[in-house]
């Protein structure tokens, strides 16, 4: 029987700050339009955190029952280690998705944009079928597509839209930027797992690209958002605050490009998550000022 601390670890709390980044950018973009709303922003944050926990438990369950987590480098998994029964982990995922749904309904009710319920339903389905179902799209190299769309475009633009009733091109630039960094987070995770994923038939984008090209793609995903943030400075000059992250971004890219692998990629994974949060805070603040 898993302890409470093991359940918390299974939720992968280190991923949660990165889940907050799109909400911060989206709220900053709403402020740039003169329509920020703290309550709606907090509800959007609750939705993002709940869905992230749901996705983490769903991946734990689905990868565990498939046997793809038996030999891996990285955070502890509840299902694969036998610390929790698969059904318990599955229920935990559904519970988190349920919390996210309730918070999302409250946000939709406040904004009056009822069509966003459909977007939320598709987002939850995307979270489950990333590794769940008969043909999980994450096993076919499409994980980054799902992450870019739902943890980038939908999360940022949805946050802005529910507060301002419209979106702007700085919001779109921020959404693309956050989506790219979220993809970088997934890419470095899958880069670390290429040897084991290839053996069990998990054809992630990193496996499909191969080690060398996956490293270059990661570097591009980390560095391109800096350029997009600089472009935002034409309407929001304080967006240049993101330039404070040039060195950390370069260091992450360099570490991966020179060939770090296995356990050496674990701090890069943590650093990429911290970079996403830092980017979200600085760009969100820059847009709001």
- Report how far residue 56's alpha carbon sits from residue 127's, in angstroms, rounded to the nearest whole number: 9
Which contacts qualify for 262-266: CB closer than 8 Å, 24 or more apart? 262/73, 262/192, 263/73, 265/73, 265/188, 265/191, 265/192, 266/73, 266/74, 266/192
Q: Are the beta carbons of 229 and 279 closer than 8 angstroms?
A: yes
Identify the residue whose tokens are 């703290």: 38
**Positive or negative, the Cα torsion across 271, 277, 281, 284?**
positive
Q: At what angle do helices 86-111 and 38-66 cross, to 10 degrees?
A: 160
Which tokens belong to 144? 């980054």
Q: With contact defined as beta carbons under 8 Å apart, do 6 and 261 qualify?
A: no
> From CA 172, how far away is CA 7, in angstroms rounded?
36
Angle in degrees, 0-180, between the axes of helices 116-129 and 38-66, rounded to the nearest 10:
30
What is the full per-residue pLDDT of the chain (289 aa) written as tens digits?
788 888 998 888 888 888 999 999 999 999 999 999 999 999 999 999 999 999 999 999 998 888 776 655 557 788 988 889 999 999 999 999 999 999 999 999 999 999 999 999 999 999 999 989 888 998 899 999 999 999 999 999 999 999 999 999 999 999 999 999 999 999 998 998 888 887 777 889 999 999 999 999 999 999 999 999 999 999 999 999 999 999 999 999 999 999 888 888 989 999 999 999 999 999 999 999 9
Question: How distant, in Å, are the alpha carbons of 73, 98, 132, 179 from that of 66?
Answer: 17, 24, 10, 28
How far apart (Å, rounded) are the C-alpha atoms in residues 70 and 91?
A: 21
In angstroms, the CA 114 to CA 107 distance is 10
Using a 10 angstrom Cβ sphere, with 0-12 exposed, 13-18 middle and 19 or more buried, the burial of residue 73 is middle
């Amino acid at each position: 029987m898993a302890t409470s601390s093991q359940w918390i670890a299974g939720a992968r709390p280190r991923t949660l700050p990165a889940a907050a980044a799109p909400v911060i950018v989206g709220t900053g973009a709403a402020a740039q339009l003169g329509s920020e709303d703290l309550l709606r922003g907090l509800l959007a944050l609750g939705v993002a955190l709940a869905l992230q926990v749901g996705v983490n438990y769903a991946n734990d369950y689905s990868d565990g029952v498939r046997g793809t987590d038996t030999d891996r480098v990285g955070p502890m998994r509840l299902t694969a280690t036998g610390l929790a029964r698969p059904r318990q982990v599955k229920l935990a995922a559904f519970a988190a998705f349920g919390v996210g749904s309730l918070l999302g309904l409250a946000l939709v009710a406040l904004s009056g944009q009822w069509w966003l319920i459909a977007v939320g339903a598709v987002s939850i389905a995307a979270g489950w079928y990333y590794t769940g179902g008969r043909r999980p799209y994450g096993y076919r190299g499409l994980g980054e597509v799902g992450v870019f769309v739902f943890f980038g475009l939908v999360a940022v633009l949805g946050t802005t839209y529910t507060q301002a009733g419209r979106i702007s091109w700085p919001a779109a630039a921020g959404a693309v930027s956050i989506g790219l960094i979220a993809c970088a987070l997934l890419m470095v995770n899958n880069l670390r797992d290429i040897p084991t994923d290839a053996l069990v038939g998990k054809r992630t984008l990193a496996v499909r690209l191969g080690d060398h090209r996956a490293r270059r793609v990661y570097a591009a995903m980390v560095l391109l958002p800096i350029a997009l943030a600089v472009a935002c400075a034409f309407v929001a000059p304080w967006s240049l605050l993101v330039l404070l992250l040039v060195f950390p971004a370069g260091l992450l890219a360099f570490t991966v490009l020179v060939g770090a692998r296995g356990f050496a990629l674990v701090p890069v994974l943590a650093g990429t998550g911290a970079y996403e949060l830092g980017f979200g805070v600085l760009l969100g603040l820059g847009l709001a000022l």
